[in-house]
Structure 1
Amino acid sequence: MTSDRISRIRLSSVALPLSTPVSDAKVFTGRQKPMTEVSMLFAEIATEGGHEGLGFSYSKRAGGPGQYAHAAQVAPELLGEDPNDIARLWDKLVWAGASVGRSGLSTQAIAALDIALWDLKAKRAGLSLAKLLGAHRDSVRCYNTSGGFLHTPLERVLDNAAAAVERGVGGIKIKVGHPDGGVDVKRVASVRERLGDDVPLMVDANQQWDRATALRRCRELERFDLVWIEEPLDAYDHAGHARLAATCDTPIATGEMLTSVAEHAELIRAEAADILQPDAPRVGGVTPFLRLLALAEHAKLPVAPHFAMELHVQLAATYPLEPWVEHFDWLEPLFVERLEITGGRMIVPDRPGLGLTLTERARAWTTDQVVLDM
């Protein structure tokens, strides 16, 4: 018998506006338009016993309405269920929408529900999610990305980087992949000079180089002592990434675009990454993310989860090998709470669950909503 049952689910589609249109290499190569908003999917799950959990997923540029629609179709499967049985419920949600596959938009929609169930479980235990899962640390190394996009003028990138380090962020990542390779080198050289040799520095090409260009660019960037070069090639070019990882001194990081444990398993099997960058909302939530971390640990791979620091700081704290977490300030307007950063590290919140509460602005930006009752 179950002592509690899921009685109510609220799903909200939220359009989070960005203050400035954002461009990375995909825009400069003509493959995408500048990003003006992030589409968020929130799931709020309540039980008969009075417990509540909050989860979220997201999409950039396209897919938000699709995630919301899929979640609204499969979420009724949770009503009346025991919220403790998270792994079984994840499988139930996947099978409810199996005709559209077990990766991509379908699992990203499920992620919001799965994360809400884990948040609920940790809150009920009176523990942070990291403590519930079993933490290895109370803080995680962090690096900032949001200040170094390609659309940002170089002087502003330099100021942003210096300000982030002054604020306590541990490393800086800037975007590369400009059609003019000289622009990339100038920007990286300028940031390295401004920060000095002791600040960890990373770059991200957002999949915009072909194999020959990637090898050439990676060699050109070797002198800057980078922590990693991220997504130099198409996300599914495992053979190309493996060749770069075996050839270049600078570690190769990738994985953020993959949307299932199976896809990450292939990446690991191909030895295509020196550093794995999984994204819990993209792979389907906490449940599959934990399976993925087990594969990464077995392969002795460092991890640096992509985006969504509000969730990933909790999950990164559970990984045995010292990880990184990505500091992105984009989602901050959605949540009342703020993450603490000091000495190059992000502190894992000790509030129960994820320790997150939606703001009034998040409610105001809601474009669609459905409430499901038992």
Structure 2
Amino acid sequence: MSQTLIESVSAIIVDLPTIRPHRLAMHTLQQQTLVVIRLRCADGIEGLGEATTIGGLAYGNESPESIKQNIDSHLAPLLIGQDAANINAAMQRLDKAAKGNTFAKSGLESALLDAQGKRLGLPVSELLGGRVRDSLEVAWTLASGDTAKDIAEAEDMLGIRRHRIFKLKIGAGEVSQDLKHVIAIKRALGDSASVRVDVNQAWDESQALRACQVLGDNGIDLIEQPIARINRAGQVRLNQRSPAPIMADESIESVEDAFSLAADGAASVFALKIAKNGGPRAVLRTAAIAESAGIALYGGTMLEGSIGTLASAHTFLTLNKLTWGTELFGPLLLTEEIVQEAPQYRDFQLHVPRTPGLGLSLDEERLAFFARK
């Protein structure tokens, strides 16, 4: 028993450059900041986890700095001396002592799962019930804001067989211009690709009613979070009227949110994000609620690096049906890597290893170089 005690937990802020600025409705990313978690156990095994936000506090309630501070001051001390092999008890202990903090908790649970997988010689997917696939279709976000550039980028991705699902970040601009931009891209790509939009809550209901109609009528497959998460009645009305499916993303900040959205009929698709639910095991509870309610699933991302991306991927491999694929492209947005085994993308899919744990080990030199001083 004493051999599996948790001995130390450290959280390291890492700033990595991106291949280009990444525009969202509320923020433009110039680089990506990860919080890498290292959980060391008495049996010599180390588990890796990651907590990553999009745009710090512009997106949600946690920032890289607050994640590190809360892990260091509040969450890590609760884990030291606990049984590393009993992930359920460890996470219940955190949930009792700390409200929210789902990004931090997700990183810690990922590290516990990685360590236990290494201990047992099993991939994390097998600890979560067992994979039913070995790879996941991955969407790519076209976020330059320039129509011609976005079309060229999409055609290049199709040509090299890396992506055939494209998501457009809109909402920062004038609605009619955004619609024109999206429709032009869909017309250029035709039936060779699925084109979807993410509005990141930028529209009010009056704008969304018309825009969703236009998008649906012009072949757009999916509309993500068009209006504010707090306008639940508006989400229900939109979901009833839009010709294209509406996906809830920011609306789901917990498993309880997922239940409430399903009960109200506020969306026909759920974006699953381990960080926003509090870890891989929690996001599977959200998936179970969705499946019970007949709501389709999509594997979302917080633009994590390789550690967080594979924690999500191992989780999504276990789902019965992922109707809308995933967007686990975070590592492809980065120009630098801090792990020795970069995730493998080919033939439109992310291929997930069957090696123990998450299947990753840190590149100590690169980690030291990019860690915030």
TM superposition score category, shorter chain reference: 0.7 to 0.9
Q: Which range moved further: 86-95 or 342-351?
A: 342-351
Alignment match of 2:227 (pick from 226, 233, 243) = 233
Aligned to 1:213: 207
- Whether the aligned pair in 2 keeps the contact of 1:17 and 1:36 (CA below 8 Å) is yes
Structure 2 gap ranges (5+): 57-62
What CA deviation, in whole Å up to 9, does each residue of 1:21-63 have, x standing for no partner? 332222xxxxx5x332333211111212122210011123331
- Whether the aligned pair in 1 keeps the contact of 2:7 and 2:41 (CA below 8 Å) is yes
Aligned to 2:108: 113
Matched, 1:366 2:367: no
Aligned to 1:303: 297
2 CA distance for matches of 1:76 and 1:178? 41
The one-letter code of the counterpart of 1:339 is P
Matched, 1:189 2:183: yes
Shift of 1:19: 4.6
Alignment match of 1:39 (pick from 33, 53, 60) = 33
Shift of 1:246: 1.2
The one-letter code of the counterpart of 2:154 is A
Residue 305 and residue 21 in structure 1: after superposition, are their counterparts in 2 closer, same or farther (change >3 A)? same
Aligned to 1:93: 94
Shift of 1:353: 1.6
Residue 300 and residue 135 in structure 1: after superposition, are their counterparts in 2 closer, same or farther (change >3 A)? farther
Structure 1 gap ranges (5+): 27-31, 369-374
Matched, 1:277 2:271: yes
Shift of 1:315: 1.3
Q: What TM-score do the two structures reach when normalised by structure 1? A: 0.87
Alignment match of 2:120 (pick from 122, 125, 131) = 125
Aligned to 1:371: none
The one-letter code of the counterpart of 2:54 is K
- Whether the aligned pair in 1 keeps the contact of 2:202 and 2:226 (CA below 8 Å) is yes
Residue 300 and residue 124 in structure 1: after superposition, are their counterparts in 2 closer, same or farther (change >3 A)? farther
Residue 334 and residue 3 in structure 1: after superposition, are their counterparts in 2 closer, same or farther (change >3 A)? closer
What CA deviation, in whole Å up to 9, does each residue of 1:90-135 have, x standing for no partner? 12122333xxxx22xx222222111100111122222222233211
Give the 5 Å matches for 1:1-374.
1=1, 3-26=3-26, 32=27, 34-62=28-56, 63-73=63-73, 74-97=75-98, 102-103=99-100, 106-133=101-128, 134-145=130-141, 148-149=142-143, 151-168=144-161, 169-256=163-250, 258-307=252-301, 308=304, 309-323=309-323, 324-326=325-327, 327-328=329-330, 329-331=332-334, 333-359=337-363, 360-367=365-372
Local SS of the residue matching 1:92:
helix
- Whether the aligned pair in 2 keeps the contact of 1:162 and 1:194 (CA below 8 Å) is no
Q: Which range moved further: 311-320 or 351-360?
A: 351-360
Pairwise CA RMSD: 2.1
Residue 143 and residue 306 in structure 1: after superposition, are their counterparts in 2 closer, same or farther (change >3 A)? same
The one-letter code of the counterpart of 1:276 is F
2 CA distance for matches of 1:245 and 1:335? 41
Local SS of the residue matching 2:139:
strand
Aligned to 2:59: none
Q: Which range moved further: 225-234 or 176-185?
A: 176-185
2 CA distance for matches of 1:77 and 1:366? 25
1 CA distance for matches of 2:283 and 2:359? 19
- Whether the aligned pair in 1 keeps the contact of 2:118 and 2:357 (CA below 8 Å) is yes
Local SS of the residue matching 1:304:
strand
2 CA distance for matches of 1:292 and 1:218? 26
- Whether the aligned pair in 1 keeps the contact of 2:186 and 2:220 (CA below 8 Å) is no
- Whether the aligned pair in 2 keeps the contact of 1:86 and 1:287 (CA below 8 Å) is no
Shift of 1:226: 2.3
What CA deviation, in whole Å up to 9, does each residue of 1:188-238 have, x standing for no partner? 222223322141111111110100100100111123322211110112322
Shift of 1:2: 5.1
How many pairs were matched up? 353
The one-letter code of the counterpart of 2:369 is A
